[in-house]
Every structure is written in C-alpha cells, then in structure tokens.
Chains A and B, each alone.
Chain A
Amino acid sequence: KQEVTQIPAALSVPEGENLVLNCSFTDSAIYNLQWFRQDPGKGLTSLLLIQSSQREQTSGRLNASLDKSSGRSTLYIAASQPGDSATYLCAVTGFQKLVFGTGTRLLVSP
C-alpha cells in the first residue's frame, strides 16, 4: 500500500528566504506526482504536475523535482513571500487513484 510522508509538518520562515519542502513515497510504481497548495477552509490548487518520466517542473518561483527510484520529491520555493503562507500537499498517482501526504504548513512572516 502506497504511503506518502511530508516533512516537516510545519515550517516558519522570514520573507525572502529560499525553502525546500520534502515528500517521500514508499511505492515507486507511480504515474505522476503533484504538488498542491491549500489555503484555510478552501479546496486544493494544483501547483505542479511531474510525470513519472520527468525529473523536474518549474513554474515561476516554484521548482519541483522527482526521484522515482528513491521515492522522493522536493518543492523548492525561491524568495518566499507572505502570500506563500498555506499548506502544501504532495500526491502520487498509482494505479487508478491518488494518495496524499499530510502536508506541510508554511508560514512566511514579513
């Protein structure tokens, strides 16, 4: 059974710092991996989708990497801003369904 773990569970940084969020998964037989952002009381917004054949994806200040063999992904956020404060979740797609991690709650202070 696929298990997805995110470390750290919470992270607090001052504005302007570069930071890395981690996601690990136990079964490397995945189709893709997604990173999401969730604001309090809201649904999830897709940030980046990495197919299993890809190593990384970039969107603006965000860069996500995927190492399938080691079961790891990282989300790099450059020059963090207070507006980046949210919970970040990763999810892996295996046969027919997604499995989510428990998320990293990020707080960027001005």
Chain B
Amino acid sequence: DGGITQSPKYLFRKEGQNVTLSCEQNLNHDAMYWYRQDPGQGLRLIYYSQIVNDFQKGDIAEGYSVSREKKESFPLTVTSAQKNPTAFYLCASQGANSPLHFGNGTRLTVT
C-alpha cells in the first residue's frame, strides 16, 4: 500500500540537542511539506520541497533545517536554535492535482 510514514511517533530530547524527524513516502509525489501544529493554532508551514535537491523556507523556518536528496525522503532537523521545539510535527506529500497526504505525525518533547 502506498503511503507516507513518519518516525518515531514520540521523541524526547534534552534542550540543546539537535534531533532529526524522519518522513518517507512511496507515493511517487514530487512535493513534500513539513508542518508544525500547536494547541489552538492552525498548521504552520516550516519547509517545503517541490522537487529533489530543492527546498524552500515556509513561514516558521528559523531553527529548522531539511534536505531532499531523494524523492522519497524529506527529513527535518530541529536544531538547538529553535526556541520552542516541543510540538506535534506533520509531514505531507502531494502529487500534481491530487490531495495532500499526511503522515501520522511525530510528537516531540524537549525538556
């Protein structure tokens, strides 16, 4: 079955550590996205990529980094520069004229 997989489901880190969230899709989609979701707020776009080896900053890119070396993979690194990293992170992919497909999310807690 085609789909988009995020791992791990829960992640705990100490303040000051970088952490990388995984996102893999086998839908052959060109576009991939990372969103952050906080209680009472809508989804906010962190980074997106329309094609391999290219990505663009979203609305809240500071303190995050991404790479898109393969079509299937779009990992997100939360760096120690991110002031408030505890959140629910959602990865999505999209093909041409098709709905957005989401993974089940990673809940990151930084203490």
- B-binding residues in A (CB < 8 A): 4, 32, 34, 36, 41-46, 49, 51, 89, 91, 96-103
Contact = CB atoms under 8 A, between A and B. Distances in A.
Given A41-B105, A41-B107, A46 B42 contact: no
A45 B92 CA distance: 11
Contact of B100 (A41, A42, A96, A98): A98
A43 B102 contact: yes
26 contacts: A4-B42, A32-B97, A34-B99, A41-B105, A41-B107, A42-B104, A43-B90, A43-B102, A43-B103, A43-B104, A43-B105, A44-B102, A46-B99, A46-B101, A46-B102, A49-B98, A51-B97, A89-B42, A89-B43, A97-B33, A98-B33, A99-B45, A100-B43, A102-B40, A102-B41, A102-B42
4 closest Cβ contacts across the A-B interface?
A46-B99, A43-B102, A102-B42, A100-B43
Secondary structure call for the A interface: strand
Contacts, number: 52
A96 B51 CA distance: 12
B48 interface: yes
Contacts of A96: 48, 50, 56
Contacts of A99: 45
B58 interface: yes
Interface of B: 6, 33, 35, 40-43, 45, 48, 50, 56, 58, 88, 90, 92, 97-105, 107
A97 to B, nearest CB: 6
A34 B102 CA distance: 13
A97 B100 contact: no
Nearest to B104: A43
A97 B90 contact: no
B100 A91 contact: yes
Contacts of B6: 43
A103 B103 contact: no
Nearest to A5: B42
A34 B100 contact: yes
B48 A97 contact: yes
